Amino acid sequence: MVTVTFDKVRKEFGTMVALPGLDLAIGSGEFVSLLGPSGCGKTTTLRMLAGLEQPTSGRILIGDRPVNNLAPGERDIAMVFQSYALYPHMTVAQNIAYPLRKRGVPKAERPARVKAVADLLQLGPLLERKPRQLSGGQQQRVALGRALVREPKVFLLDEPLSNLDAQLRAHMRAELIELHRRLGKTMVYVTHDQLEAMTMSTRIAVMRGGELQQFATPAEIYHRPANAFVAGFIGTPAMTLADGEIAAGQGRAMLKLGTLQMELPPDHLSQAPTGVLPVTVGVRPEDVVLGAGDGQASIRVVEPTGHESIVLANAGDVVFTVRVPGDSPLRPGDTVPFDLRRERLHIFERASGRRLN
Ligand code: ATP
Q: Ligand 1 pocket test: which of 13, 52, 79, 163 has the largest number of ligand atoms within 8 Å of its C-beta?
A: 13
Residues 209 and 171 occupy one common structural domain? yes
Q: Which atom of ligand 1 is nearest to the CA of 45?
A: 11
Q: What is the CATH number of the domain that holds 15?
A: 3.40.50.300
234 closest CA partner among 346, 109, 77, 116:
346
Nearest CA to ligand 1 atom 17: 39
Q: Which atom of ligand 1 is nearest to the CA of 14?
A: 29
Question: Which of residues 233, 248, 264 is at a domain's end?
Answer: 233
Give 222-286 as a DSSP string.
Answer: HHS-SBHHHHHHSSSSPPEEEEEEEEEETTEEEEEETTEEEEPPTT-SSS---SEEEEEEEE-GG
pLDDT value, residue 168? 78
- CA–CA separation, 262 vs 187, rounded Å? 45
Nearest CA to ligand 1 atom 10: 43
Residues 332 and 205 occupy one common structural domain? no
User: What ipTM was predicted for this assembly?
Assistant: 0.96
Alpha-carbon Rg for the chain, nearest whole angstrom, is 25
CA of 220 from ligand 1 middle (Å) equals 27
Question: Which of residues 177, 206, 233 is at a domain's end?
Answer: 233
CA of 356 from ligand 1 middle (Å) equals 32
Q: Which atom of ligand 1 is nearest to the CA of 41?
A: 11
Nearest CA to ligand 1 atom 5: 39
284 closest CA partner among 246, 232, 328:
232
CA of 71 from ligand 1 middle (Å) equals 21
Instruction: Yes or no: say if 144 and 132 are a contact pair by the CB < 8 Å rule.
Output: no
- Domain assignment present for residue 91? The answer is yes
pTM of the shown model: 0.91
CA of 39 from ligand 1 middle (Å) equals 5
HEC sequence for 47-107: HHHHCCCCCCEEEEEECCEECCCCCHHHCCEEEECCCCCCCCCCCHHHHHHHHHHHCCCCH
Residues 122 and 196 occupy one common structural domain? yes
Q: CB within 6 Å of ligand 1 — which residues?
A: 13, 16, 18, 36, 38-44, 192
Q: Which amino acid appears at position 213 of this protein? A: Q
CA of 26 from ligand 1 middle (Å) equals 22
- Domain assignment present for residue 356? The answer is no
Residues 211 and 276 occupy one common structural domain? no
CA of 252 from ligand 1 middle (Å) equals 47
Indicate if the alpha-carbon torsion angle 204, 308, 239, 272 is positive or negative: negative
Task: Work out the end-to-end distance of the chain between its first and last CA atoms, rounded to an integer number of angstroms.
Answer: 36
Q: Ligand 1 pocket test: which of 15, 22, 40 has the largest number of ligand atoms within 8 Å of its C-beta?
A: 40
Nearest CA to ligand 1 atom 2: 38
List helix spans (H) across 103-210.
Answer: 110-120, 136-148, 166-183, 194-200
pLDDT value, residue 166? 83
For residue 216, list its beta bridge partners.
204
Residues 221 and 250 occupy one common structural domain? no
- Domain assignment present for residue 118? The answer is yes
**What b/e readout covers 61-95, taking b as 16+ CB neighbours within 10 angstroms?**
bbbeeebeeeeeeebbbbbbbeebebeeeebbbbb
Q: Which atom of ligand 1 is nearest to the CA of 36?
A: 6
Nearest CA to ligand 1 atom 28: 13
Residues 192 and 224 occupy one common structural domain? yes
Opening angle at CA 210, ends 205 and 216, nearest 5:
15
CA of 224 from ligand 1 middle (Å) equals 28
Q: What is the CATH number of the domain that holds 267?
A: 2.40.50.140
Residues 152 and 58 occupy one common structural domain? yes
Residue 120 has φ and ψ, to the nearest 5°, of -60, -40
Question: Which of residues 198, 214, 233 is at a domain's end?
Answer: 233
Residues 30 and 113 occupy one common structural domain? yes
pLDDT value, residue 314? 96
Nearest CA to ligand 1 atom 20: 39
Q: Which atom of ligand 1 is nearest to the CA of 192?
A: 2
pLDDT value, residue 1? 64
Residues 28 and 173 occupy one common structural domain? yes
CA of 347 from ligand 1 middle (Å) equals 32
pLDDT value, residue 231? 97
**Domain around 300:** 240-349
Residues 140 and 223 occupy one common structural domain? yes
Instruction: Yes or no: say if 300 and 313 are a contact pair by the CB < 8 Å rule.
Output: yes
Residues 323 and 307 occupy one common structural domain? yes
CA of 140 from ligand 1 middle (Å) equals 24
Nearest CA to ligand 1 atom 23: 44
For residue 237, whether the previous peptide bond is cis, meaning omega lies within 30 degrees of 0, is yes
Along the 357 residues of the chain, how does pLDDT read in single tens digits?
699 999 999 999 999 999 999 999 999 999 999 999 999 999 999 999 999 999 999 999 999 999 999 999 899 998 887 766 789 999 999 999 998 998 889 999 999 999 988 887 888 899 999 999 998 888 888 988 888 888 889 999 998 888 778 887 888 888 889 889 988 899 999 998 999 999 999 999 999 999 999 999 999 999 999 999 999 999 999 999 999 999 987 778 899 998 899 999 888 888 877 889 999 999 999 999 999 999 999 999 999 999 999 999 999 899 999 999 999 999 999 999 999 999 999 999 999 999 999
153: left (phi over 0), alpha (psi -120 to 50) or beta: alpha
How far, CA to CA in Å, does 323 sit from each of 14, 148, 275, 290?
Answer: 46, 41, 34, 10
Q: Which atom of ligand 1 is nearest to the CA of 47?
A: 11
Q: How many domains does the chain have?
A: 2
Instruction: Yes or no: say if 208 and 41 are a contact pair by the CB < 8 Å rule.
Output: no
